[in-house]
Amino acid sequence: MYVRSNLRWGIVWRLTWRSLVIFTIYNTLVCFLYGPLDIHVLDIPWQPVALLGTAVAFYIGFKSNGSYNRFWEGRQLWGSIVNVSRVWAIRVFDFVQPEGSVDPSAQAGMAALHRRLAYRHVAWCNALRLHLRRQTAELWDAEVAPFLPPTEAATAKNLSNPPTHLLRRQSSELRELVEQGLLTEFRQVALAQTIQDLFNAQGGCERIKNTPFPRQFAFFSFAFVWIFAAVLPLGLVEEFDHRIALGQYHVWLMVPFSVLVSWVFNVIELVGHTSENPFENDVHDVPMTSICRSIEIDIRELLQETELPAKVLPVNDVLY
Protein backbone atom coordinates (compact mmCIF):
# COMPACT_ATOMS: atom_id res chain seq x y z
CA MET A 1 0.00 0.00 0.00
CA TYR A 2 1.39 3.37 -1.02
CA VAL A 3 1.64 5.49 2.14
CA ARG A 4 3.06 8.81 0.94
CA SER A 5 0.52 11.62 0.90
CA ASN A 6 1.27 12.46 -2.74
CA LEU A 7 2.19 10.07 -5.53
CA ARG A 8 5.69 10.53 -6.84
CA TRP A 9 5.73 11.58 -10.47
CA GLY A 10 8.02 8.65 -11.21
CA ILE A 11 5.21 6.23 -10.33
CA VAL A 12 2.70 8.20 -12.39
CA TRP A 13 5.11 8.21 -15.33
CA ARG A 14 5.74 4.44 -15.12
CA LEU A 15 1.99 3.79 -15.16
CA THR A 16 1.05 6.15 -17.97
CA TRP A 17 4.03 6.92 -20.20
CA ARG A 18 3.10 4.45 -22.94
CA SER A 19 -0.43 5.78 -23.33
CA LEU A 20 0.84 9.37 -23.12
CA VAL A 21 3.28 8.75 -25.98
CA ILE A 22 0.57 7.05 -28.08
CA PHE A 23 -1.90 9.90 -27.46
CA THR A 24 0.71 12.52 -28.40
CA ILE A 25 1.73 10.80 -31.63
CA TYR A 26 -1.86 10.12 -32.68
CA ASN A 27 -3.13 13.62 -31.95
CA THR A 28 -0.15 15.19 -33.68
CA LEU A 29 -0.82 13.04 -36.75
CA VAL A 30 -4.50 14.08 -36.87
CA CYS A 31 -3.57 17.73 -36.53
CA PHE A 32 -0.89 17.43 -39.23
CA LEU A 33 -3.35 15.81 -41.67
CA TYR A 34 -6.01 18.44 -40.94
CA GLY A 35 -3.72 21.48 -40.95
CA PRO A 36 -0.72 21.38 -43.30
CA LEU A 37 -2.18 18.65 -45.56
CA ASP A 38 -5.68 20.21 -45.54
CA ILE A 39 -7.48 16.83 -45.24
CA HIS A 40 -10.69 18.08 -43.63
CA VAL A 41 -12.61 14.86 -44.17
CA LEU A 42 -11.23 13.72 -40.80
CA ASP A 43 -13.20 16.17 -38.67
CA ILE A 44 -16.52 15.14 -37.12
CA PRO A 45 -19.13 17.14 -35.17
CA TRP A 46 -18.23 17.79 -31.55
CA GLN A 47 -21.65 16.90 -30.07
CA PRO A 48 -21.46 13.08 -30.49
CA VAL A 49 -17.91 13.13 -29.14
CA ALA A 50 -19.08 14.99 -26.03
CA LEU A 51 -21.96 12.56 -25.60
CA LEU A 52 -19.57 9.61 -25.89
CA GLY A 53 -17.22 11.19 -23.34
CA THR A 54 -20.08 11.59 -20.85
CA ALA A 55 -21.07 7.94 -21.23
CA VAL A 56 -17.46 6.74 -20.85
CA ALA A 57 -17.00 8.90 -17.74
CA PHE A 58 -20.01 7.28 -16.08
CA TYR A 59 -18.84 3.81 -17.05
CA ILE A 60 -15.25 4.09 -15.81
CA GLY A 61 -16.52 5.77 -12.65
CA PHE A 62 -18.71 2.75 -12.00
CA LYS A 63 -15.78 0.41 -12.62
CA SER A 64 -13.42 2.39 -10.37
CA ASN A 65 -16.00 2.40 -7.57
CA GLY A 66 -16.41 -1.38 -7.82
CA SER A 67 -12.65 -1.90 -7.80
CA TYR A 68 -12.19 0.30 -4.73
CA ASN A 69 -14.94 -1.59 -2.92
CA ARG A 70 -12.95 -4.81 -3.42
CA PHE A 71 -9.84 -3.19 -1.93
CA TRP A 72 -11.72 -1.68 0.99
CA GLU A 73 -13.50 -4.93 1.79
CA GLY A 74 -10.12 -6.69 1.83
CA ARG A 75 -8.75 -4.07 4.23
CA GLN A 76 -11.82 -4.40 6.47
CA LEU A 77 -11.41 -8.17 6.59
CA TRP A 78 -7.80 -7.84 7.70
CA GLY A 79 -8.84 -5.21 10.23
CA SER A 80 -11.27 -7.72 11.68
CA ILE A 81 -8.47 -10.32 11.78
CA VAL A 82 -6.41 -7.91 13.90
CA ASN A 83 -9.26 -7.48 16.39
CA VAL A 84 -10.15 -11.18 16.55
CA SER A 85 -6.46 -12.04 17.01
CA ARG A 86 -6.34 -9.97 20.17
CA VAL A 87 -9.56 -11.53 21.40
CA TRP A 88 -8.16 -15.01 20.74
CA ALA A 89 -4.98 -14.28 22.71
CA ILE A 90 -6.81 -12.81 25.70
CA ARG A 91 -9.31 -15.66 25.81
CA VAL A 92 -6.57 -18.26 25.59
CA PHE A 93 -4.69 -16.70 28.49
CA ASP A 94 -7.79 -16.25 30.67
CA PHE A 95 -9.89 -19.30 29.72
CA VAL A 96 -7.31 -22.07 29.41
CA GLN A 97 -6.65 -22.56 33.10
CA PRO A 98 -6.98 -25.53 35.47
CA GLU A 99 -9.65 -25.33 38.14
CA GLY A 100 -8.36 -24.18 41.47
CA SER A 101 -4.86 -22.92 42.21
CA VAL A 102 -1.90 -23.80 40.03
CA ASP A 103 1.23 -25.09 41.74
CA PRO A 104 4.54 -23.58 40.59
CA SER A 105 5.63 -26.80 38.88
CA ALA A 106 2.59 -26.68 36.56
CA GLN A 107 2.90 -22.97 35.84
CA ALA A 108 5.64 -23.52 33.24
CA GLY A 109 3.50 -26.09 31.46
CA MET A 110 0.56 -23.67 31.28
CA ALA A 111 2.84 -20.95 29.88
CA ALA A 112 4.06 -23.36 27.20
CA LEU A 113 0.47 -24.30 26.36
CA HIS A 114 -0.57 -20.66 26.03
CA ARG A 115 2.48 -19.99 23.90
CA ARG A 116 1.68 -22.89 21.58
CA LEU A 117 -1.91 -21.75 21.02
CA ALA A 118 -0.84 -18.12 20.51
CA TYR A 119 2.03 -18.99 18.19
CA ARG A 120 -0.19 -21.25 16.08
CA HIS A 121 -2.45 -18.26 15.57
CA VAL A 122 0.51 -16.14 14.40
CA ALA A 123 1.36 -18.99 12.03
CA TRP A 124 -2.23 -18.93 10.75
CA CYS A 125 -2.03 -15.19 9.98
CA ASN A 126 1.21 -15.63 8.05
CA ALA A 127 -0.09 -18.77 6.32
CA LEU A 128 -3.23 -16.92 5.19
CA ARG A 129 -1.11 -14.08 3.81
CA LEU A 130 1.12 -16.47 1.86
CA HIS A 131 -1.91 -18.45 0.71
CA LEU A 132 -3.58 -15.33 -0.71
CA ARG A 133 -0.37 -14.21 -2.41
CA ARG A 134 0.42 -17.73 -3.68
CA GLN A 135 3.81 -17.64 -1.91
CA THR A 136 3.43 -20.66 0.38
CA ALA A 137 6.06 -22.84 -1.27
CA GLU A 138 8.92 -20.33 -1.18
CA LEU A 139 8.28 -18.51 2.13
CA TRP A 140 6.65 -21.11 4.40
CA ASP A 141 9.86 -22.29 6.10
CA ALA A 142 10.92 -18.76 6.98
CA GLU A 143 7.63 -17.12 7.95
CA VAL A 144 5.27 -19.85 9.16
CA ALA A 145 7.24 -22.91 10.27
CA PRO A 146 9.09 -21.13 13.16
CA PHE A 147 5.74 -20.71 14.97
CA LEU A 148 4.71 -24.37 14.74
CA PRO A 149 5.98 -27.74 15.98
CA PRO A 150 8.17 -29.26 13.22
CA THR A 151 5.83 -32.14 12.40
CA GLU A 152 2.78 -29.90 12.24
CA ALA A 153 4.60 -27.37 10.05
CA ALA A 154 5.73 -30.04 7.60
CA THR A 155 2.23 -31.53 7.37
CA ALA A 156 0.42 -28.23 6.84
CA LYS A 157 2.87 -27.00 4.20
CA ASN A 158 1.91 -29.74 1.75
CA LEU A 159 -1.86 -29.17 2.00
CA SER A 160 -3.85 -27.19 -0.54
CA ASN A 161 -5.19 -24.81 2.13
CA PRO A 162 -2.77 -24.58 5.10
CA PRO A 163 -4.70 -21.86 7.00
CA THR A 164 -7.77 -24.09 7.20
CA HIS A 165 -5.67 -26.94 8.59
CA LEU A 166 -4.20 -24.69 11.30
CA LEU A 167 -7.63 -23.54 12.47
CA ARG A 168 -8.77 -27.16 12.48
CA ARG A 169 -5.79 -28.01 14.69
CA GLN A 170 -6.68 -25.18 17.07
CA SER A 171 -10.23 -26.55 17.38
CA SER A 172 -8.93 -30.08 17.99
CA GLU A 173 -6.64 -28.90 20.74
CA LEU A 174 -9.49 -27.07 22.44
CA ARG A 175 -11.42 -30.34 22.56
CA GLU A 176 -8.37 -32.07 24.05
CA LEU A 177 -8.10 -29.36 26.70
CA VAL A 178 -11.73 -29.92 27.69
CA GLU A 179 -10.99 -33.62 28.13
CA GLN A 180 -7.96 -32.75 30.28
CA GLY A 181 -10.02 -30.43 32.49
CA LEU A 182 -8.09 -27.31 31.45
CA LEU A 183 -11.05 -25.76 29.67
CA THR A 184 -14.74 -25.69 30.50
CA GLU A 185 -17.32 -26.40 27.82
CA PHE A 186 -18.69 -22.87 28.09
CA ARG A 187 -15.26 -21.39 27.51
CA GLN A 188 -14.66 -23.84 24.66
CA VAL A 189 -17.77 -22.47 22.94
CA ALA A 190 -16.44 -18.91 23.31
CA LEU A 191 -13.08 -19.88 21.81
CA ALA A 192 -14.83 -21.84 19.05
CA GLN A 193 -16.79 -18.69 18.19
CA THR A 194 -13.48 -16.88 17.82
CA ILE A 195 -12.28 -19.58 15.43
CA GLN A 196 -15.51 -19.17 13.47
CA ASP A 197 -14.84 -15.44 13.18
CA LEU A 198 -11.40 -16.24 11.78
CA PHE A 199 -12.93 -18.68 9.30
CA ASN A 200 -15.38 -15.98 8.20
CA ALA A 201 -12.55 -13.51 7.60
CA GLN A 202 -10.52 -16.13 5.75
CA GLY A 203 -13.50 -17.03 3.58
CA GLY A 204 -14.09 -13.38 2.73
CA CYS A 205 -10.46 -12.94 1.65
CA GLU A 206 -10.58 -16.11 -0.43
CA ARG A 207 -13.79 -14.94 -2.10
CA ILE A 208 -12.10 -11.73 -3.25
CA LYS A 209 -8.96 -13.59 -4.31
CA ASN A 210 -10.71 -16.36 -6.21
CA THR A 211 -13.39 -14.20 -7.85
CA PRO A 212 -11.76 -11.89 -10.41
CA PHE A 213 -13.30 -8.54 -11.12
CA PRO A 214 -15.90 -9.24 -13.86
CA ARG A 215 -13.90 -9.18 -17.07
CA GLN A 216 -16.74 -7.69 -19.11
CA PHE A 217 -16.59 -4.54 -16.97
CA ALA A 218 -12.79 -4.39 -17.06
CA PHE A 219 -12.47 -5.05 -20.80
CA PHE A 220 -15.14 -2.64 -22.00
CA SER A 221 -13.88 0.07 -19.64
CA PHE A 222 -10.46 -0.20 -21.29
CA ALA A 223 -11.97 -0.39 -24.80
CA PHE A 224 -14.32 2.57 -24.32
CA VAL A 225 -11.52 4.82 -23.04
CA TRP A 226 -9.38 4.10 -26.09
CA ILE A 227 -12.31 4.53 -28.48
CA PHE A 228 -13.01 7.91 -26.90
CA ALA A 229 -9.32 8.84 -27.15
CA ALA A 230 -9.42 7.91 -30.85
CA VAL A 231 -12.41 10.10 -31.76
CA LEU A 232 -11.63 13.00 -29.41
CA PRO A 233 -9.10 14.78 -31.68
CA LEU A 234 -11.42 14.32 -34.67
CA GLY A 235 -14.06 16.34 -32.84
CA LEU A 236 -11.70 18.91 -31.34
CA VAL A 237 -9.64 19.78 -34.40
CA GLU A 238 -12.41 21.70 -36.16
CA GLU A 239 -13.40 23.44 -32.92
CA PHE A 240 -9.87 24.79 -32.50
CA ASP A 241 -9.68 25.70 -36.19
CA HIS A 242 -12.93 27.66 -36.48
CA ARG A 243 -13.73 28.97 -33.00
CA ILE A 244 -10.39 30.09 -31.60
CA ALA A 245 -8.95 33.10 -33.37
CA LEU A 246 -5.34 32.92 -32.28
CA GLY A 247 -3.59 33.13 -35.63
CA GLN A 248 -2.32 30.81 -38.30
CA TYR A 249 -1.14 27.97 -36.04
CA HIS A 250 -3.84 27.92 -33.40
CA VAL A 251 -5.11 24.54 -34.64
CA TRP A 252 -2.04 22.93 -33.08
CA LEU A 253 -3.38 23.80 -29.65
CA MET A 254 -5.71 20.87 -30.15
CA VAL A 255 -2.82 18.47 -29.50
CA PRO A 256 -2.03 19.30 -25.83
CA PHE A 257 -5.69 19.72 -24.88
CA SER A 258 -6.75 16.44 -26.52
CA VAL A 259 -3.78 14.59 -25.01
CA LEU A 260 -4.63 15.96 -21.56
CA VAL A 261 -8.27 14.88 -21.72
CA SER A 262 -7.35 11.42 -23.06
CA TRP A 263 -4.70 11.04 -20.35
CA VAL A 264 -7.16 11.92 -17.58
CA PHE A 265 -9.66 9.33 -18.77
CA ASN A 266 -6.91 6.73 -19.08
CA VAL A 267 -5.61 7.43 -15.56
CA ILE A 268 -9.11 7.02 -14.09
CA GLU A 269 -9.37 3.65 -15.82
CA LEU A 270 -5.91 2.62 -14.57
CA VAL A 271 -6.77 3.58 -10.98
CA GLY A 272 -9.69 1.17 -11.10
CA HIS A 273 -7.52 -1.52 -12.70
CA THR A 274 -4.83 -1.33 -10.00
CA SER A 275 -7.45 -1.75 -7.23
CA GLU A 276 -9.14 -4.86 -8.63
CA ASN A 277 -7.04 -7.46 -6.78
CA PRO A 278 -5.93 -6.31 -3.30
CA PHE A 279 -3.94 -9.45 -2.41
CA GLU A 280 -1.28 -9.54 -5.15
CA ASN A 281 1.59 -7.98 -3.13
CA ASP A 282 1.53 -4.97 -5.43
CA VAL A 283 2.12 -1.28 -4.70
CA HIS A 284 -1.54 -0.48 -4.07
CA ASP A 285 -2.59 -3.68 -2.25
CA VAL A 286 -3.60 -4.40 1.34
CA PRO A 287 -0.38 -4.36 3.45
CA MET A 288 -0.76 -7.88 4.81
CA THR A 289 2.91 -8.29 5.75
CA SER A 290 2.75 -5.23 7.98
CA ILE A 291 -0.56 -6.33 9.51
CA CYS A 292 0.76 -9.83 10.27
CA ARG A 293 3.85 -8.36 11.92
CA SER A 294 1.67 -6.08 14.07
CA ILE A 295 -0.40 -9.08 15.17
CA GLU A 296 2.76 -11.01 16.01
CA ILE A 297 4.14 -8.13 18.09
CA ASP A 298 0.84 -7.71 19.97
CA ILE A 299 0.58 -11.40 20.82
CA ARG A 300 4.21 -11.79 21.83
CA GLU A 301 3.94 -8.74 24.06
CA LEU A 302 0.90 -10.34 25.70
CA LEU A 303 3.10 -13.39 26.25
CA GLN A 304 5.50 -11.00 28.05
CA GLU A 305 8.30 -11.64 25.59
CA THR A 306 10.96 -8.97 25.30
CA GLU A 307 12.81 -9.92 22.11
CA LEU A 308 10.29 -8.73 19.57
CA PRO A 309 10.64 -8.31 15.81
CA ALA A 310 10.76 -4.83 14.36
CA LYS A 311 7.71 -3.33 12.72
CA VAL A 312 7.53 -3.50 8.94
CA LEU A 313 8.49 -0.13 7.52
CA PRO A 314 7.64 1.29 4.09
CA VAL A 315 10.11 0.59 1.29
CA ASN A 316 10.21 3.43 -1.23
CA ASP A 317 6.94 4.74 0.28
CA VAL A 318 5.24 1.35 -0.13
CA LEU A 319 4.06 -0.70 2.86
CA TYR A 320 3.79 -4.39 2.08
φ/ψ region of 52 (left if φ > 0, alpha if ψ in -120 to 50, else beta) reads alpha
User: Is the domain of 142 the same as that of 190?
Assistant: yes
Check residue 189 and give its pLDDT.
93
Q: How confident is the model at residue 105 (pLDDT cuts 50, 70, 90)?
A: low
Whether residue 229 contacts residue 293, with contact meaning beta carbons closer than 8 Å, is answered with no
Strand partners for 2: 318
User: Is the domain of 226 the same as that of 166?
Assistant: no
Q: How confident is the model at residue 103 (pLDDT cuts 50, 70, 90)?
A: low
Question: Rounded mean pLDDT of 249-260?
Answer: 83
Asked if the structure places residue 135 within a domain, the reply is yes
User: Domain of 25?
Assistant: 9-68+218-274
Domain count, the chain: 2
Query: Is it the case that residue 109 has pLDDT exceeding 90?
Result: no
2 — phi, psi (to 5°)? -75, 125
pLDDT in tens, 167-199: 999 999 999 999 888 888 899 999 999 999 999
Check residue 243 and give its pLDDT.
60
* pTM metric for this prediction: 0.87
pLDDT in tens, 256-286: 999 999 999 998 888 888 888 899 888 888 9
User: Is the domain of 126 the same as that of 256?
Assistant: no
User: Is the domain of 157 the same as that of 109?
Assistant: yes
User: Is the domain of 32 the same as that of 104?
Assistant: no
pLDDT in tens, 3-50: 777 778 887 888 888 999 999 999 999 888 877 777 777 778 888 889
Whether residue 65 contacts residue 268, with contact meaning beta carbons closer than 8 Å, is answered with no
User: Is the domain of 153 the same as that of 228?
Assistant: no
Q: Which residues, other chains included, contact 130 with Cβ-Cβ below 8 Å and sequence gap of 6+?
A: 136, 139, 140, 143, 144, 162
Asked if the structure places residue 46 within a domain, the reply is yes
Q: Among 87-91, 118-122, 200-204, 272-276, name the one with the lowest average pLDDT.
A: 272-276
User: Is the domain of 77 the same as that of 62?
Assistant: no
User: Is the domain of 173 the same as that of 232?
Assistant: no
Asked if the structure places residue 150 within a domain, the reply is yes
Range picked from 45-59, 111-125, 233-247 for highest mean pLDDT: 111-125
